Structure 1
Amino acid sequence: MSLSVIGAGFGRTGTMSIKKALEQLGLGPCHHMEEVFKNPRQLPFWQNAAAGEGVDWHEVFEGYNCSVDWPSGHYWKELAEFYPDARVLLSVRPPERWWDSFSGTIKVLLERKNEIPDEYPRALLAMADKLITEQTFGGCLDRESAVAAFQNRIDEVRRVIPKERLLIFEVAQGWQPLCEFLGVPVPAGDFPRCNDKVEFWDVFSGGADA
C-alpha cells in the first residue's frame, strides 16, 4: 500500500478530526500518533528515524493509506519525495490558538515524560520529545520560539510543495475543500470534531495519546 495523503501539519491542528474524516471518506487506515501508542511494533521505526537512521517507509506504513500528525508529519518532505503521487495536506489553525492547545496537552506530556511509570509510553514520549522539542523547536518550548516554528513550517511547505499538490486546511472549513482536493463526494453529516483538551487527557490516561 502506498500513501495517498501526507499530513504536513503539527499536532494539535485538528489532526485527529482529519484522521477520522479521511477514514470516513474511504482513504484509511490513517496513521497518527495514536497508532504508535496502540502498536508497539511501530515505535522502533520512529526511534530509528529520530536518530537519523534509515527506515523503509513502505514497512513503516504497511497497512496505511494516509498519514497525519506527529511523528509522520515531521518527515513530510521525505515522504512527499518517497510517495510522489501522494497529495500533501497541511493542517493549520491560528498560531496563538494552536499554542494554547499544544501547551496544555503535548507540551505538558513531553515535560513530564520521565514521570510516566509504564515503560512503553515513556519510551514513546522520549521519541516524541526528540522529534518535537529538539528537532522541530530547537530545544525551546517557549511560546515565541514554538509559534515561530509553527509559521516556519507553513512557509516551508508552501515553498516546497507545488500548489496543485497541496491543500492548506483548517478543520473549521469542513468537508467541502477537503473533498474537492481529494476528488471525492461530500458525505452526509457533519465533519468530525474530536480530541479537545478534555478528550486528549481522557484518552492518554487510558493508554494512548490522541
Structure 2
Amino acid sequence: MALEVIGSGFGRTGTKSLKAALERLGYGPCHHMHEVAANPEQVIHWQKLAAGEGVDWDTVFAGYRSQVDWPGAHVWRDLARAFPDAKVVHTTRPEEKWWASFDKTIGKLMARYADLPLPPHIRDILTAWNGLAGKHTFGGVLDDREIGLAAFRRRTEEVRDALPASRLLVFDVSEGWGPLCAFLGTEVPDEPFPHHNLRADFWEVLGGEPA
C-alpha cells in the first residue's frame, strides 16, 4: 500500500479533522501524530531521521493510505518524491488563529514536556520532533510569534512553489467537504465535516494541560 494523500500543513491547522475526513472518504488509515502516540514502534523511524539517518518510506507508512500532521508533514518533500502519484493537501488557517493555538498547545508542550509524567515513547517522539521541525522549521525557537508566523507563511510558499496546481490543494477545513472532495474526485458525504482536536482535546490525551 502506498500513500495516496500527503499532508504538508503544520499541526494546529485542522489536521485531526482532515484525518477523520480522509478516513471517511476511504483514505484510511491516516497517519497522524496520534498514530505515533498510539503505536510506540513508530517512534524509531523519527528518531533515525532526527539523528540524520535514512529510512524507507514504504516501511514507515506501511498500512497507511494517507498522512497528515507532524511528524510526517516535516518531510513532505521526501514523501512527494517517494509517492509521486499521491496528491498533497496543505492545511492552513488564518495565521493569527494558528499562532494562538500553536502557542497554547504544541509550543507550551515542547517547553514543558521534559518535566511532565509522560510515557517514554511520547517523550521520545517529542524529542525527535524537536530535532526535526523544532530545529529545522522554527530554528529551535518555539515561543516567538514572529518566528512562528514566518515559518507558517514560508511553508505555504514552499509547497506552492514546489508542486503543480493539479497535485496540490491548499485547504482550510472550515471550507468543508466541497474543495476536498472535488480535489480527490470523491462524492460529498451526506454528513457534517468532522471537527476535532480543540485545545482541550490536545491536552486530554496527554493527561491534562499543565498549570
Length-normalised TM-score, structure 1: 0.96
Runs of 4+ residues deviating >6 angstroms? none
Question: Following the alignment from structure 2 to structure 1, what is the Cα–Cα distance between the partners of residues 19 and 132?
Answer: 21
Say yes or no: does 1:133 pair with 2:158.
Answer: no
Any idea what the Cα deviations from partners look like across 1:63-118, whole Å, max 9, x if unmatched?
10000000000000010011000000000001111000000001111111211233
8 Å contact 2:7–2:69 — kept in the other structure? yes
Measured after TM superposition, the shift of residue 183 of structure 1 is: 0.3
Aligned counterpart, 1:165: 167
Aligned counterpart, 1:91: 91
Aligned counterpart, 1:74: 74
* Number of residue-to-residue matches in the alignment: 206
Question: Following the alignment from structure 2 to structure 1, what is the Cα–Cα distance between the partners of residues 110 and 148?
Answer: 14
Residue 206 of structure 2: SS of its match in structure 1? helix
Any idea what the Cα deviations from partners look like across 1:24-82, whole Å, max 9, x if unmatched?
01110000000110001100001111222110000000010000000000000010011
Alignment of 1:26-175 (within 5 A): 26-117=26-117, 118-141=119-142, 142-175=144-177
Same amino acid, percent of matched pairs: 53
Question: Following the alignment from structure 1 to structure 2, what is the Cα–Cα distance between the partners of residues 174 and 33?
Answer: 22
Aligned counterpart, 2:19: 19
Question: Following the alignment from structure 1 to structure 2, what is the Cα–Cα distance between the partners of residues 122 and 205?
Answer: 13
Question: Following the alignment from structure 1 to structure 2, what is the Cα–Cα distance between the partners of residues 14 and 146?
Answer: 17
Q: Aligned AA for 2:141?
A: C
8 Å contact 2:130–2:140 — kept in the other structure? no
Structure 1: unaligned runs, 5 residues or longer: none
Q: Aligned AA for 1:119?
A: P
Aligned counterpart, 1:10: 10
Residue 6 of structure 1: SS of its match in structure 2? strand
Question: Following the alignment from structure 2 to structure 1, what is the Cα–Cα distance between the partners of residues 201 and 113?
Answer: 19
Measured after TM superposition, the shift of residue 204 of structure 1 is: 2.1
Residue 205 of structure 1: SS of its match in structure 2? coil
Q: Aligned AA for 1:73?
A: A
Structure 2: unaligned runs, 5 residues or longer: none
